[in-house]
């Protein structure tokens, strides 16, 4: 209301100067044309530079995804070799029995939705193929993919060179059509077999296409925004627009680099943990099995009746190793999450948690009927799993409340315990690796992570993730 007396005189004076304004407008327009032209050129240069930088970032992102898949494949093949190494080097099994046992083990080792191991003999005859059992016994040495390449021949060439990666086109079991595939193969020199596994890389192309589309839309929106602002406010907006463009470009580049660095750090941390579990867990168990079997064989040669006891102990340790492999596989990707969805997976996790820790968990899970995006589901599952583990290890609580709901295009998670609580700053500075991992998981999905705690009054975790 106080501004109205100022507006009306201004309007009145404008009417008094109506005959002078056209001349000033022409002069102002002529003065602004060079600046508008410079602004337009600068804007175009910025767009081109942003496009070039975006393509470089997208290429780096694609290479990181491929590197991650290569590392996964090597780990899978290493795990398979570890599983069959004792049979390959077993002196007490006939050659035929050993081969059948190796084929049986590899046939049962599957992972994910389309992950499996394949084996071919020196003539290109398929020996193991869980996803396409009709290929077993067929010679595929002369088979070509959609690009006209001899797949099995090329794979054998790579395997004979000491093992490595090869890319080709193969049928994807979950979709039934041919897709680009990356495989890692090695040679089993004992029998001249080729062992390998592969991951389909069509998801990489999809992610790259989505990222490129989003970057293109962002660049286009920024371009039109700058043009509108420039046309509306001339010299002042031109200067502000240039400053904002430069500032936003730097912020966007820094953000992309930060997120890429976070993603790489997270992948390295996960691979390091997986390698440590393989080395400290399964590897030690396998060494123990090997020792028991060798001891049993030695006693058998001496007609020592206690050899059976050693073999029985070896079988027990081997069963323990199998359970450890299953646990690691479940940690990598819970099968219940893929088969039944997030709600069922969380209920299974909480039931197991209650029976194991005797900590009562009060739940109120409210998710939409349709499945959430895959990255959100696995992030929420891992977040709740890590939070519950922290409650068990550090809180001293006997009751936990977990509530989830969807509101305003976001999924919310609230987890509270009645434990001892802690000093958050001191905890993060000393040993807050788990807390930082949870925070980084949420940050990579543009979510919000809020942890509150007070000594003697428990801890509360609140998470908010966008669904779009």
Q: Tens digits of per-residue pLDDT, 357-392? A: 888 999 998 888 888 888 888 888 888 888 888 888
Q: How many CB atoms lie within 10 A of CB 230?
A: 22
The alpha carbon dihedral of 313, 317, 318, 323 has a sign of positive
Q: Decide if pLDDT at 457 tops 60.
A: yes
Model pLDDT, residue 1 = 37
Q: What pTM, to 2 d.p., does this model score?
A: 0.38
pLDDT category of residue 327 using cuts at 50, 70 and 90: low
Q: Which parts of 113-201 fold into alpha helices (H)?
A: 151-160
Nearest to 223 by CA among 252, 245, 254: 245
pLDDT category of residue 3 using cuts at 50, 70 and 90: very low
Q: Which of 57-71, 244-258, 295-309, 349-363 shows the highest mean pLDDT? A: 349-363
Rounded to whole angstroms, the Cα distance separating 106 from 181 reads: 20
The residues, ordered by sequence, that sit 6+ positions from 297 with a Cβ below 8 Å of its Cβ are 91, 92, 307
Mean pLDDT of the chain: 76
- DSSP string across 375-386: HHHHHHHHHHHH
Model pLDDT, residue 2 = 35
Query: How confident is the model over 212-221, as a mean pLDDT?
Result: 75
402: tokens are: 């977990």
pLDDT category of residue 10 using cuts at 50, 70 and 90: very low
Start-to-end Cα distance in the chain: 42
pLDDT category of residue 60 using cuts at 50, 70 and 90: confident
Model pLDDT, residue 5 = 35
Answer whether 199's CB lies under 8 Å from 49's CB: no
Answer whether 324's CB lies under 8 Å from 279's CB: no
Q: Which of 287-301, 316-330, 425-439 shows the highest mean pLDDT? A: 287-301
Torsion of CA 410, 415, 416, 421, to 10 degrees: -110
Q: Greater confidence, 106 or 236?
A: 106
The residues, ordered by sequence, that sit 6+ positions from 301 with a Cβ below 8 Å of its Cβ are none
Q: Greater confidence, 78 or 43?
A: 78
Query: How confident is the model over 187-214, as a mean pLDDT?
Result: 83
- DSSP string across 380-412: HHHHHHHHHHHIIIII--SEEEEEEEEETTEEE
Model pLDDT, residue 9 = 34
Quick: pLDDT tens for 146-169: 889 999 999 999 999 989 999 999
Model pLDDT, residue 224 = 76
**374-390 helix and 342-357 helix, angle to the nearest 10 degrees:** 10
Least confident of 150-154, 195-199, 392-396, 462-466: 392-396
Query: How confident is the model over 21-34, as a mean pLDDT?
Result: 51
pLDDT category of residue 450 using cuts at 50, 70 and 90: confident
Query: How confident is the model over 250-273, as a mean pLDDT?
Result: 62
Quick: pLDDT tens for 71-117: 988 898 998 888 888 887 777 778 888 888 888 988 888 888 888 99
Q: Find the angle CA(307)-CA(312)-CA(315) to the nearest 5 degrees.
A: 130
Name the E strands within 15-125. Answer: 117-120
Nearest to 185 by CA among 117, 275, 85: 117
pLDDT category of residue 273 using cuts at 50, 70 and 90: low
Q: Decide if pLDDT at 206 tops 50.
A: yes
Model pLDDT, residue 221 = 76
Rounded to whole angstroms, the Cα distance separating 347 from 109 reads: 27
Q: How many CB atoms lie within 10 A of CB 337?
A: 22
CA distance to 42, 227, 243, 250, per residue, from 49 (Å): 10, 17, 16, 12
Model pLDDT, residue 119 = 93
The residues, ordered by sequence, that sit 6+ positions from 25 with a Cβ below 8 Å of its Cβ are none
The residues, ordered by sequence, that sit 6+ positions from 423 with a Cβ below 8 Å of its Cβ are 453, 455
Quick: pLDDT tens for 237-254: 546 555 655 666 677 667
């Amino acid at each position: 209301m106080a501004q109205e007396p100022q507006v009306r005189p201004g309007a009145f004076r404008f009417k008094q100067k109506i005959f002078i304004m056209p001349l000033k407008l022409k002069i102002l327009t002529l003065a602004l044309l060079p600046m508008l032209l410079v602004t337009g050129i600068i804007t175009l240069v910025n767009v081109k530079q942003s496009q070039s930088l975006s393509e470089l970032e997208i290429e780096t992102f694609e290479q990181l995804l491929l590197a991650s898949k290569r590392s996964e494949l090597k780990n899978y093949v290493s795990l398979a070799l570890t599983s069959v190494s004792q049979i390959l080097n077993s002196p007490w099994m006939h050659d035929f029995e050993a081969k059948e046992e190796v084929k049986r083990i590899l046939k049962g080792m599957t992972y994910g939705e389309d992950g499996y191991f394949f084996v071919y003999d020196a003539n290109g005859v398929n020996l193991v193929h869980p996803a396409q059992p009709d290929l077993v016994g067929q010679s595929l040495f002369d088979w070509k993919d959609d690009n006209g390449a001899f797949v099995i021949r090329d794979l054998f060439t790579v395997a004979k060179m000491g093992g490595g990666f090869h890319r080709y086109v193969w049928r994807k079991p979950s979709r039934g059509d041919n897709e680009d595939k990356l495989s890692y193969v090695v040679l089993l020199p004992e029998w001249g077999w080729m062992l390998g596994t592969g991951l389909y890389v069509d998801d990489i192309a999809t992610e790259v296409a989505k990222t490129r589309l989003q970057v293109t839309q962002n660049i286009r929106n920024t371009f039109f925004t700058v043009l509108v602002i420039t046309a509306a406010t001339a010299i002042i907006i031109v200067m502000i627009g240039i400053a904002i463009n430069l500032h936003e470009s730097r912020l966007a580049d820094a953000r992309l680099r930060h997120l890429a660095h976070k993603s790489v750090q997270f992948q390295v941390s996960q691979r390091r943990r997986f390698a440590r579990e393989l080395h400290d867990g399964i590897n030690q168990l396998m060494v123990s099995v090997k020792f028991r079997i060798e001891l049993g064989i030695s006693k058998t040669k001496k007609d020592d009746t206690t050899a059976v006891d050693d073999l029985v102990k070896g079988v027990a340790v081997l069963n323990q190793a199998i359970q450890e492999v299953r646990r690691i596989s479940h940690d990598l990707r819970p099968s219940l999450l893929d088969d039944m969805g997030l709600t069922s997976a969380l209920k299974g996790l909480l039931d197991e948690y209650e029976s194991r820790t005797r900590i009562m968990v009060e739940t109120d899970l409210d998710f939409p009927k349709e499945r959430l995006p895959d990255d959100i589901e696995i992030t929420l599952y891992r977040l709740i799993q890590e939070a519950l583990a922290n409650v068990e290890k550090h809180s001293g609580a006997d009751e936990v409340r977990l509530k989830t709901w969807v509101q305003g295009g976001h999924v919310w998670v609230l987890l509270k315990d009645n434990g001892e609580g802690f000093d958050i700053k001191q905890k993060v500075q000393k040993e807050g690796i788990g807390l930082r991992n949870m925070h980084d998981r949420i940050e990579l999905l543009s979510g919000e992570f809020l942890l509150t705690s007070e000594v003697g009054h428990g801890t509360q975790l609140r998470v908010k993730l966008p669904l779009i």
